[in-house]
Structure formats: structure tokens, C-alpha cells
A = this chain, B = another copy of it.
Amino acid sequence: MAKEVTKRAENYSQWYNDLALKADLAEQSAVRGCMVIKPYGYAIWEKMQSILDRKFKETGHQNAYFPLFIPKSFFSREAEHVAGFAKECAVVTHHRLKNDPDGKGVVVDPEAKLEEELIVRPTSETIIWSTYKNWITSWRDLPILCNQWANVVRWEMRTRLFLRTAEFLWQEGHTAHATSEEAQKEAETMVGVYADFARNTMALPVIVGHKSPNERFAGALDTLTIEAMMQDGKALQAGTSHFLGQNFAKSFDVQFTNKEGKQEYVWATSWGVSTRLMGALIMAHGDDNGLVLPPALAPIQVVMVPIYRGEEERNAVLDKMADVKKALEALGHSVKIDDRDTLRPGFKFAEWELKGVPVRLAMGARDLQAGSVEVARRDTLTKETMPLEGIAEHIHTLLDDIQQNIYNKALAFRDANVEKCDSWDEFKEKIQTGKFLLCHWDGTTETEQAIKDATKATIRCIPVDSYVCEEEGVDIYSGKPSHRRVVFAISY
């Protein structure tokens, strides 16, 4: 029997866990809150990395690597920053173990206490700006456009695979600029790169916008975000890009001589996406049969399952499949022939459905005679018998259709669940049913906090591309004047 997956309608949260676990994406490790990313899950993450990395390089960025550890004193220099992260820091205090004098194990050697504790990076602004100080003297040294692929640690008490883990993988861009305008433009460029990646690679419709002050990154003057709707109507913040002003430059005394020969503090941005995107991928597209992977990210885009009785049929079918595989690979696609002898075709069908492979081809002796093949689409769960002649080109086109269809489906779902709302009573009820509500907001943190306390809903963003709604009105909670609607939702 294939592995059973909980249905979304029964228990959405369990469904999510089932997909992550049973599709072999990840599992909890023996270390509290830390996950193991399994080969199939990691292959998806590698595809994400490779496409994002190319986009970063195309926009002029270079990769570098900065230390895992941050001295506690550095970490404390930017006040808001340390306040934002202090409660979730893993702290290294010793650098040696020794034999337990009372037993056979090992204990921490009290004589190997560090003079200054080291924080395992939860994000790298402080260590990077302490480094940039050495790299920047003049306007000629600017801009610096660096990115780092790294692991980070934020101690979490309640963790969920990919969505919230103590350790996660991410990239963090850290740029340094001569002017505020240039830094702000960089932050916008990078949220644009993320939005493009989400939409065109992940098939994930996202709303781009500014965070409210309350939801900004600790130490930022402005945070841009891409917000996605999951199938339960909750919001998932999928990537952020921060304009940090001169906060970190001032904390680490990073100044440059401008063209007029005057000393100025440097302007900064930082931006990141993480393995959390894997969670978005699962929840945006999966169905009750398992994962649904957009072809652009599927480690296996086409799986072929042979159907046969006896060695002769098997060989004939596998030979033909090898031809089709070769033709598909020549068109740039990744293909797997599932020739395992110990499993029945029906089991294999279910397994590859669970793993979200976009296209499945099944072929038996009768198909060979008829010159046909059965083509099953994962996104629509439809099957069609197609001529073998020209099958590679057909699938090449089909994969594009699937990519587009997965996006369209997610977009239609989201659009059906975004509503304007102007009544507080209505808001309180509707926000619990999985909606993004476009509401007037008076711009104050007090109102935002009161709404959050009453409903758990937060302002996901003040939209800048889709759902922009600049119109006069009154705040849904306070009744005070408002000049635009913002997106409220309950979030992951």
C-alpha cells in the first residue's frame, strides 16, 4: 500500500506534516527544533538556490562567506537589533570537552570557558558590518554587493518542518551604498527579484509591499516583503528586503569619503529568503494525494512506469522508455524510469503522485504495439493516451502548461479569498475563515496591536504592485481617517 496522507479538510496541519515527511522532504532530527533535509527535499532547495543565485549574479552581486559566530558585544551594538534577537540566541560558552572524572562520558571542560561568549548567527548584519568597516574608505569602494548562502540559528520553542526551525538554511544579501536613494533602490530591486522568482519559478502568486513599522526587521527603516496565501487562507511571508538606513554603519562606525571629500556614514540593505520557501511550496500547491511540484523546481519532471509481464515485455518497454528519456533529456528535462521489479505499477503511481512529479508516463506492451503512451498530469490528475511519435516535444510544451496552470490555480484561489472589508464585526468573523482582508488602517502601531490582540491578525503589507488601494476611508478599528487599504491576515 502507498503511504496514507491526511486530507486537508480533515486536518490541514497534519496534512502539511504528512507531505513533508512522507514525500521524503525532511524530518525532525534528534536535536530539538533542528530538521534533517532529506535528499529529495534538498534537491528542490538546490534548484531554488541555483536559480536565485543566477538572478543575484545577474543583478551584480557576488557571494562571500562570513563567520558563523558573532561576539556578544558586536551583537549588542545596534539596540533594536539585539532586542529583536536576544531571546532566541544559541550561545557558545566553552571550547573544549574533557573526560568525565566520574564516569565514562565527556563533560564540558570548565577551564575552557570563552572570555567572551559567541552567538551562533541568527542573521549576519553585525559581523558583516564590522567587516565592511575594513573594506570601505572612499566612495570608490562602494557599492559593495555581497550575498552569503549559510545556515542560521534562531532558537524556537515550537517548531514545524521548514516553517519554523531552530536552524535553517538561507541566503542573506548585505549591501553598502553611498546614498540613501541607491540603497532604497537596491532593496526594491531585490524584493522584485524575489517576487519574480516566487511567481515564475515557484508558481506562487505573491503580494509585494511594505511592512508596517511594527512588523519591520529589527534595525530596519523599511522592510519590503512578498506575502503568499496558503490553502488555509493564512499568509506566509516568503522573503524580505530591508532598507537599513545608516543604523549599522553608525553602530560599527563605517564611514566613507564622498566625492566632495567629506566623511559620511554608509547606507545599507539586507535581504533574504530561506528554506521556509519549501513550506510555501508544499502548502500553496499540494493536494490530498501529496505534493504538486511546479516543473521549474521538480527534481524529477517526468517519471516513467513500465507495465509488463515477463522479461521480454519488460525489455521491450524499457528500451522504448530509454529512447523517450534521451529525447526528453535533450530538451533539458530530468527524467526517471522507475524500473523497480519488486513494486506494482499502482504503488509506483501513488508514490510519484505523493512526491509531486509533474508528468507520469505509463507504457505497456499494448501501448508499444499501438505506438501510444499514457500521459498523466499531476496538477489536474488527468490522464490521456498520446501517440509516442513526437512525445518529447509534446511533454516539453505540457510542462510549460503545467507550470502556468499551477500558478493560475493558486492565483484564482488567492483572488477568491481577498476581500475588502469595512466593518469591524465582519472583520473579526471573516479573518478567522482564512481570508486576506483589504482594510483601512490609521497608520498607528496602537491600532495594529489592538487588532492583533483581538484577532491574531497582522498587517501583512502595504501593497505596492497588486491590490494597491489608495483611497480615502476610515480605520476599520479606530474609525480614524485613512488614505489607503492594507492587507490584514493571520499568518504563519
Residue positions of A touching B, CB distance < 8 A: 27, 29-31, 34-39, 42-43, 45-46, 62-76, 82, 86-99, 105-106, 108, 117-120, 127, 130-131, 134, 140, 146, 150-151, 153, 155, 167, 169, 342
Contact = CB atoms under 8 A, between A and B. Distances in A.
Given A42-B65, A43-B63, A87-B97, 14 more contacts: A29-B66, A29-B131, A31-B69, A36-B67, A39-B146, A43-B62, A69-B90, A69-B167, A76-B105, A82-B97, A86-B97, A87-B98, A89-B97, A96-B155
Contacts of A119: 97
Contacts of A72: 97, 105-106, 108
A130 B42 contact: no
Nearest to A38: B64
B35 A62 contact: no
User: 9 closest pairs, A vs B, by CB?
Assistant: A34-B67, A39-B62, A37-B65, A86-B97, A95-B155, A91-B94, A31-B67, A93-B93, A29-B67
Contacts of A66: 29, 36
Contacts of A155: 95-96
Contacts of A88: 95-96
A94 B93 contact: yes
22 contacts: A30-B71, A31-B67, A31-B70, A31-B127, A36-B66, A36-B67, A37-B64, A39-B62, A39-B146, A65-B169, A67-B167, A68-B153, A72-B97, A76-B106, A82-B97, A86-B97, A86-B98, A89-B95, A89-B96, A90-B92, A91-B94, A120-B120
Contacts of A43: 62-63
A38 to B, nearest CB: 6
A484 to B, nearest CB: 37
A71 B95 CA distance: 15
A410 to B, nearest CB: 27
Given A69-B31, A105-B76, A106-B75, A64 B36 contact: yes
Contacts of A106: 72, 75-76, 82, 86
Contacts of A146: 39
Contacts of A167: 67-69
Contacts of A93: 91-94, 108
B70 A134 contact: no
A91 B69 CA distance: 12
Nearest to A72: B106
A31 B67 CA distance: 7
A68 B127 contact: no
A72 B68 CA distance: 20
A41 to B, nearest CB: 8
Contact of A31 (B34, B65, B71, B169): B71
Output the residue of A69, A105, A130, A342 with the most chain B CB within 10 A.
A69
Contacts of A131: 27, 29-30, 36
A213 B29 CA distance: 33
A30 B75 CA distance: 12
Contacts of A39: 62-64, 146
A376 to B, nearest CB: 25
Nearest to A35: B67
A67 B90 CA distance: 14
A73 B105 contact: yes
Contacts of A36: 64-67, 131
Nearest to A157: B95
Nearest to A30: B130
A92 B122 CA distance: 14
A368 to B, nearest CB: 29
A108 B67 CA distance: 20
